[in-house]
Structure 1
Amino acid sequence: MDAPISSSRSIDIELYRELLAVDSTSGKERDLALLLARRLPQGSSCQARLMEVGDGTLNLQLSWGTPRVYFCTHLDTVPPYIAPEFEPAPGGDIKVKGRGSCDAKGQIMAMYSACRELEREGLSGFALLLLAGEETGSHGAKAYARSQPGGEWVIVGEPTGNKMVAASKGTKAFDITITGQSCHSGYPEQGVSAIELFVDFVNQLRATRFPVDPVTGTTTYNLGRLASDNPQNVLSDKVRFRLYWRTTQASDALVTATVEGMAGERVHIEALGGDTPMSYATLEGFDTTIAAFGSDAPRLSNFKHRALCGPGSILVAHRPGECVMLSEIAQARDQYVRMFKQIIAAQ
């Protein structure tokens, strides 16, 4: 393995702090794109290009020459905003806390640092692509795939423990409305409780078995946006919720067929689509893993080779205690430099 280019102390901590200080929770990331378009080209030969997504947000591309390899991650973070903290850690390391510290402003720092290192070595032919709206449906990635030519290679940054993802689960989303008939709760026989129908629906889900995929494992689901506005003394006449799946190669089509088969007179199901399970490009000499989370990578269909790798743990992303070690950012930077050189050498 190549020796580290430099220690974690060479990561621009003040720039990192500046990024983390911006509230770029989904829908607010435009200000971060504008800041980075001004800030990142300083002292660099790169060309910055802002692109409207169409929903008020912006994508940003920084290019060093004609890109052959794109480093790509996202600008938005999940709410709520959490202010950054930098804490000393054993061995001279620094623990970085706050929203986006690993998902995905840590990715931005690692990839930008890699680009600057490649520039210092006199290399070109790469870009840093920062996309809006990943956390709410990959709107920036979809807009980029529609309007831009793409290229040969894109390396997408997500918290993967600095391992290259060989395969990831897919997603499927459904909006479901269950309709009952309200009545006085003292006389439930006079109506139909949508809550009881909801319980029946969930029990049917829990009893359903899907095949275990040899690569990506089991199929899982989660319920969100659950709402029923009935008073406590009135039977519910309506329950609404979002059903969200993590699917495998073995279950992807079966999940859709199963859920749509649960529709009925009182159960309305609207399929919202999603991503199919994916296999990704990996490179020799890098550790690999399997991911159960989504990313922009499936939407970047205008690239021939798609890879997924970045610093930090997905297990702390989206949580109040989100954090990453600065040494992980430095390791990611060094890996991205190696990836670029390995890809270019093979072309």
Structure 2
Amino acid sequence: MNATRIRTALIATLAALAVVAAGSPARAERVKDLATLAGVRSNQLVGYGLVVGLDGTGDSQAPFAKQSMTNMLTQLGVTIPAGTNFQLKNVAAVSVSAQLPPFVKLGQTIDITVSSIGDSKSLRGGALLMTPLKGADGKVYAVAQGNLVVGGFAAFGNDGSKITTNIPSVGRIPNGATVEREVESPFARGDSLTLNLHTADFTTAKRLSDAINRTIGAGSARALDGASVKVSAPRDPSQRVSFISLLENLEVDPGDAPAKVIINSRTGTVVIGSHVRVAPAAVSHGSLTVTISEDQKVSQPAPLAAGTTAVAPQSNINVTEGEGRMFLFQPGITLDEIVRAVNQVGAAPSDLVAILEALKEVGALRAELEVI
């Protein structure tokens, strides 16, 4: 795609966007909400540092905190006599983590999270000393320092009692790290860009490529698979920025999600997709409750009888079966009808799980059943 064609397509797209937006269905979503640009991503940074100025809530048993303090003082010209055993109740060893956003430049600042890795009880009121933050390649990308903002609070009594609110051993420093190295981005390389869908779907990928071809020009985009669409793009960086701005504001009608039922086995939460269908089936569900209670009975012998008083346990077993009314699922029953039928018999979430699993076993549930 030459520069003249690109400029013409960019101008035409401005007018086409208004038409697309006006004629889009209510379900249409912007490309920026459906996909991300390949290679444009954040990077994780981590570092090890010291928080000082704590009010007696620092590390008391962490040997690495003492070693780190000794090394730092030595680098600053302070000589620590050998064998010195000092208590660092106002110092805590911490890990520092951050996300390095894409396109961040030298001198810009990013937020950092500071977490205690020793036995410090609270980081409230502390200040982080200069800490280099490294990436997965071992290179330093930012340097962090500053006063912590801690949302938690902890108070301790001499008798061992304590009051804790939230988590006082973790804090944040807004704009606490300065970027010292940029991460090279593939955004400006090559003559094409790739859009990766957040949720892989062949229908959505095809509709995305069709929308781009209708707006930019035939042959501009092609779906590589169910998750990626490759788009021809201008080489000039300034034109490429405008080009991506146009693409991410296009509206696309995403494909319908597959019929699926999600069951959370830990919380009992059940989520049923809108396309779930049930074949004809009759369901009867009732609860069975077994209650066992133990009573202690005292056996007392008659007067002047040769016997002793004894305690005899007595077990009482009670079985209660709940009312199990039967309800019928008609062919092609929808999500709304499933919920209404289950609510009519007063089924709890655990009962609903049992019903759905039974329907799946007999082949009446037209959906994927996933337990997480």
TM over 0.5: no
- Higher Cα Rg: structure 1 or 2? 2
Greater share of helix residues, 1 or 2? 1
Could you tell me the TM-score, scaled by structure 1's length? 0.20
TM-score (norm 2): 0.19
- Bigger relative contact order, structure 1 or 2, given CA contacts below 8 A and separation 6+? 1
